[in-house]
């Protein structure tokens, strides 16, 4: 992508939905959650200023741009009915799934829920006490807590001086724990509270940075794609006459083993896995990935409803109006994109058990 306007829903996946083409310009019907219907050029839709980084660091945008040529060829081959390797389809799905604004906003929105879930665990007053008791018999835990106390009391010290103080405290640790247990527990609780309060205040910044860092490690999601290609079979679903697919700004959408639709690639619970994934590649064709043994029972209407519900702001179509399009526009943003706070707390509890 040239310049600072970065497409989070790339033009190569929007263009097959164009209702009009004029030279190199492609025009689609956009159906926006708040703005209603309008007919933009794909150059101006699904983009945001410095979405993948500012002008001081264009490395992520450059990496994404380099990979778009091959992804566009995959879309074109799918729509022409050519044979496409499963791994190429998986790369297309994974690359589009993680780079969208819908995914970015969902992950940023998830971060406060994660903090709330961890808050329940970290601010449990029994945990610091359990750590102290464990330190009496566990040398690793004892060493960690002693150095934690040294750093808190004396601040940064040379390595040799820290080691000397550690040697002096070690023989007296058992007595120190007995005498200071209540104070140490209170200090640990206060530290956890302070860290969580700061993290919550900076949640958006922290989560946004984590998203960009994860995307930079593997812009085309090759690791996830190879796993998806090994675990799924891919088919093409053609719309019956008179029916048409939409393209949501979420890109691919998925249905998981618990029956819930989510953004592709995302579920907090490790026991929940993707059963099916959908990526409309044109108004009349949709890529469907499914686990072997999972029946593809979703209709065009079903897929459109999931795509609209998981979209953040808009979807595109080759059609301007229709009762079904009005109903779909009303569904934009109606589905939980990843997991609720209650789901996260429950999953963390299961991990602990």
324-349 residues labelled b (16+ CB within 10 A) or e (exposed): bbeebbebbbebbbbbeeebbbebbe
Whole-number pLDDT of residue 196: 54
Between 174 and 200, whose confidence is greater?
174
| Close Cβ partners of 318 (under 8 Å, ≥ 6 residues apart) | 17, 18, 19, 28, 29, 244, 283
Whole-number pLDDT of residue 134: 72
pLDDT tens track for 259-270 = 999 998 766 667
Does the reported pTM lie above 0.85? no
pLDDT tens track for 314-330 = 999 999 988 899 999 99
E strands, 23-66, in order: 25-27, 29-32, 36-38, 47-49
Between 127 and 137, whose confidence is greater?
137
> Closest by alpha carbon to 100, among 25, 9, 210?
9
Query: For the CA atoms of 30, 33, 36, 42, what is the dihedral angle to 10 degrees?
Result: -20
Cα separation, 268 vs 257, whole angstroms: 13
pLDDT tens track for 138-187 = 888 888 888 888 888 888 888 888 899 888 888 887 777 776 666 665 66
Cα separation, 235 vs 251, whole angstroms: 17
pLDDT band at 99 (very low <50, low <70, confident <90, very high): confident
Whole-number pLDDT of residue 351: 47
pLDDT tens track for 324-348 = 999 999 999 999 988 766 666 565 5
Q: Does residue 82 surpass a pLDDT of 80?
A: yes
Q: How far are the Cα atoms of 5, 13, 39, 68, 118 from residue 84, in angstroms, in the given order? A: 31, 16, 32, 16, 44
Whole-number pLDDT of residue 353: 47
pLDDT tens track for 253-306 = 999 998 999 998 766 667 788 999 999 999 999 999 999 988 878 999 999 999
Whole-number pLDDT of residue 29: 97
| Residue 236 three-state SS | strand
Name the token pair of 236: 């093409």
Name the token pair of 237: 């679903």
Q: For strands 261-263 and 285-290, give the pairing.
A: unpaired
For residues 196-213, average pLDDT: 61
Q: How far are the Cα atoms of 111, 263, 351 from residue 342, in angstroms, in the given order? A: 13, 18, 14
- pLDDT above 90 covers what percent of the chain? 45
Instruction: Give yes or no for a contact between 249 and 100, defined as CB atoms under 8 angstroms apart.
Output: yes
Instruction: Share the mean pLDDT of the chain.
Output: 83
- pLDDT above 70 covers what percent of the chain? 76
Question: Taking the CB of residue 129, how many other CB atoms lie within 10 A of it?
Answer: 17
Whole-number pLDDT of residue 204: 60
Query: How is residue 171 annotated by DSSP?
Result: G
Cα separation, 346 vs 9, whole angstroms: 33
> Closest by alpha carbon to 312, among 292, 291, 287, 338?
338
Whole-number pLDDT of residue 4: 85
Between 207 and 5, whose confidence is greater?
5
Whole-number pLDDT of residue 93: 94
Q: Which residues pair with 30 in a beta bridge?
A: 38, 316
For residues 42-66, average pLDDT: 87
Question: Taking the CB of residue 259, how many other CB atoms lie within 10 A of it?
Answer: 8
Q: Which of 40-49, 114-123, 142-151 has the lowest mean pLDDT?
A: 114-123
Angle 316-76-294 from CA coordinates, rounded to 5°: 75
Q: Does residue 39 surpass a pLDDT of 90?
A: yes
pLDDT tens track for 131-152 = 666 777 788 888 888 888 888 8
For residues 102-122, average pLDDT: 68
Between 105 and 117, whose confidence is greater?
105
Q: Which of 10-19, 75-84, 190-199 has the lowest mean pLDDT?
A: 190-199
Whole-number pLDDT of residue 267: 61
Cα separation, 326 vs 249, whole angstroms: 16
């Amino acid at each position: 992508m040239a310049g600072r306007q970065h497409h989070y829903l790339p033009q190569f996946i929007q263009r097959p939905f164009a209702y009009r083409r004029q030279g190199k310009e492609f025009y689609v019907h956009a159906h926006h959650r708040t703005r209603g219907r309008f007919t933009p050029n794909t150059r101006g839709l699904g983009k945001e200023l410095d979405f993948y980084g500012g002008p001081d660091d264009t490395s992520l945008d450059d990496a994404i741009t380099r990979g778009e040529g091959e992804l566009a060829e995959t879309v074109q081959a799918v729509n022409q009915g050519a044979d496409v390797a499963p791994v190429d389809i998986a790369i297309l799905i994974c690359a589009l799934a993680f780079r969208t604004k819908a995914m970015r906003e969902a992950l940023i929105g998830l971060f406060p829920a994660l903090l709330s879930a961890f808050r329940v665990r970290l601010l449990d007053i029994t945990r610091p006490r359990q750590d102290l008791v464990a330190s009496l018999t566990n040398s690793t835990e004892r060493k960690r807590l002693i150095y934690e106390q040294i750093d808190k009391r004396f601040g940064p010290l040379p390595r040799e001086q820290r080691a000397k103080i550690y040697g002096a405290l070690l023989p007296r640790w058992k007595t120190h724990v007995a005498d200071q247990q209540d104070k140490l527990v209170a200090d640990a609780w206060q530290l956890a509270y302070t860290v969580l309060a700061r993290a919550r205040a900076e949640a958006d910044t922290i989560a946004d940075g984590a998203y960009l860092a994860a995307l930079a490690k593997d812009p085309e999601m090759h690791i996830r794609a190879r796993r998806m290609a090994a675990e799924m079979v891919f088919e093409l679903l053609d719309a019956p006459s008179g029916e048409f697919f939409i393209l949501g700004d979420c890109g691919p959408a998925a249905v998981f083993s618990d029956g819930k639709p989510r953004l592709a690639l995302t579920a907090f619970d490790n026991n929940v896995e993707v059963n099916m994934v959908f990526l409309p590649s044109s108004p009349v064709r949709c890529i469907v990935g499914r686990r072997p043994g999972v029946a593809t029972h979703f209709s065009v209407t079903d897929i459109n409803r999931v795509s609209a519900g998981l979209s953040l702001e808009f979807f595109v179509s080759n059609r301007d109006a229709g009762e079904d399009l009005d109903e779909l526009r009303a569904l934009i943003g109606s589905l939980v994109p990843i997991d609720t706070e209650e789901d996260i707390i429950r999953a963390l509890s299961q991990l602990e058990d």
